């Protein structure tokens, strides 16, 4: 094959993504027969069938899946090139689209994004909040540039995903001044007597927190289990109970919201990642975000000299103790 018609390839790419000729035709704003003819010409030039009927729609053949991977890379790269050049030449701020897992506290997310949201950074930042699965699908499709996550993404979702560790933070207990004053008197044992707000069981922090409380023999008075981190914080501001969150929350922000820190839950730690996929043109703001988080927000703590009875390295769970 001496020549590949990219016009034909784009029609195939649209049908493969939509799994329907009619939906692809609507997206491309052409008639269905036009789409079918363009794909037939592409198949003739390649000497392979790329699509086959599946109910009312279509599905990819084995060779169609191969062609789609190449087409997806070609047109995603083309869109990336266009966005990058437009951002540099038309005088408007370059666009940066970020996905944020809904379990990440908003006050922490705001600090992570601060280097790219300042007016001097020169970016127009678009933020999406959702579940991990949905955000990672959008990341793989190059609809967003980076995902801020509270854990690394395994190879089962996308082999091209890269996890950039931003850093880790202690886990602390926060609440209104009134509740914090009471909690500080015999922290952390005082938590057994205090109203407490927990994330829902699917949150990684919930599992680590329950293990820590169980080891200490502390049974808090749980007044609510809240999935959304912003709502959980709002309940905390209203004085409904204490809550656990990463200690990376800015002190000024805490005071402005009428919150204070009761204490740190040693040795619990929360890790934060920036997740990207392999791209030929990396968005420059991603490197800025990662570098600033590592240097300023989550600087590595100097390691202490080994003692006579060294504790095990932190793994997100408290080391077991024997009485």
Q: Helix, strand, or coil here: 240?
A: coil
Q: Cβ distance 275 to 157 under 8 Å?
A: no
Rounded Cα distance between 36 and 32, Å, is: 6
Q: Answer yes or no: same fold for 88-168+272-297 and 169-269.
A: yes
Q: What is the pLDDT of residue 318?
A: 36
pLDDT tens, 51-87?
998 888 899 999 998 898 888 878 877 766 666 555 5
Q: What is the pLDDT of residue 92?
A: 54
How many Cβ atoms are within 10 Å of 248's Cβ, its own excluded?
Answer: 23
Max Cα distance, the chain (Å): 79
Rounded Cα distance between 214 and 174, Å, is: 20
Angle between helices 106-117 and 284-292 (to 10 degrees): 130
H-run or E-run covering 204: helix 204-216
Helix, strand, coil percent content, the chain, rounded in steps of 5? 45, 25, 30
Does the domain at residues 88-168+272-297 carry the CATH identifier 3.40.190.10? yes
Q: What is the pLDDT of residue 96?
A: 87
ω into residue 105 within 30 of 0, thus cis? no
- Give one word for 77, left, alpha or beta, with left for phi > 0 and alpha for psi -120 to 50: alpha
Strands (E), the chain: 51-54, 57-60, 94-101, 123-130, 146-149, 161-176, 195-199, 221-226, 242-246, 259-277
CATH topology of domain 169-269: D-Maltodextrin-Binding Protein; domain 2 (3.40.190)
Domain boundaries of the chain, sorted by first residue: 6-78, 88-168+272-297, 169-269
Question: Which strands sit side by side in the sheet containing 146-149, from one edge to the other?
Answer: 123-130, 94-101, 146-149, 259-277, 161-176, 242-246, 195-199, 221-226
The residue ranges of the chain whose pLDDT is under 50 are 1, 89-90, 306-323
Does the domain at residues 6-78 carry the CATH identifier 3.40.50.80? no
Q: What is the pLDDT of residue 137?
A: 84
Q: What is the pLDDT of residue 80?
A: 63
The pTM of the whole model exceeds 0.75: no
């Amino acid at each position: 094959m001496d020549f590949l018609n990219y016009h034909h390839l784009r029609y195939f790419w649209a049908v493969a993504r939509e799994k329907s000729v009619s939906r692809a035709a609507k997206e491309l704003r052409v008639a269905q027969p036009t789409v079918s003819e363009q794909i037939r010409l592409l198949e003739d030039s390649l000497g392979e069938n790329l699509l086959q009927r599946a109910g009312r729609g279509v599905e990819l053949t084995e060779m169609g899946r191969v062609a789609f991977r190449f087409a997806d890379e070609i047109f995603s790269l083309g869109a990336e090139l266009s966005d990058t050049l437009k951002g540099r030449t038309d005088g408007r701020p370059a666009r940066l689209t970020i996905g944020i897992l809904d379990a990440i506290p908003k006050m922490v997310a705001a600090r992570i994004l601060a280097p790219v949201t300042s007016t001097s950074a020169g970016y127009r930042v678009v933020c999406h909040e959702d579940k991990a699965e949905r955000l990672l699908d959008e990341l793989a499709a190059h609809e967003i540039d980076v995902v801020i996550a509270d854990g690394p993404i395994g190879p089962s979702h996308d082999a091209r995903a890269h996890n950039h560790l931003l850093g880790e933070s202690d886990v602390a207990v926060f609440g209104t001044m009134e509740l914090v004053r009471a909690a500080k008197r015999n922290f952390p044992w005082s938590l057994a007597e205090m109203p407490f707000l927990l994330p829902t069981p699917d949150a990684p922090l919930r599992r680590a927190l329950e293990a820590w409380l169980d080891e200490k023999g502390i049974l808090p008075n749980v007044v609510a289990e809240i999935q959304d981190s912003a709502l959980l914080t709002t309940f905390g501001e209203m004085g409904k109970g204490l809550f656990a969150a990463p200690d990376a929350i800015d002190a000024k922000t805490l005071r402005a919201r009428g919150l204070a820190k009761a204490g740190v839950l040693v040795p619990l730690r929360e890790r934060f990642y920036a997740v990207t996929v392999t791209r030929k043109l990396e968005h420059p703001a991603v490197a800025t975000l990662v570098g600033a988080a590592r240097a300023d927000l989550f600087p590595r703590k100097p390691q202490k000299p080994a003692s006579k009875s060294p504790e095990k390295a932190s793994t997100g769970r408290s080391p077991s103790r024997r009485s």
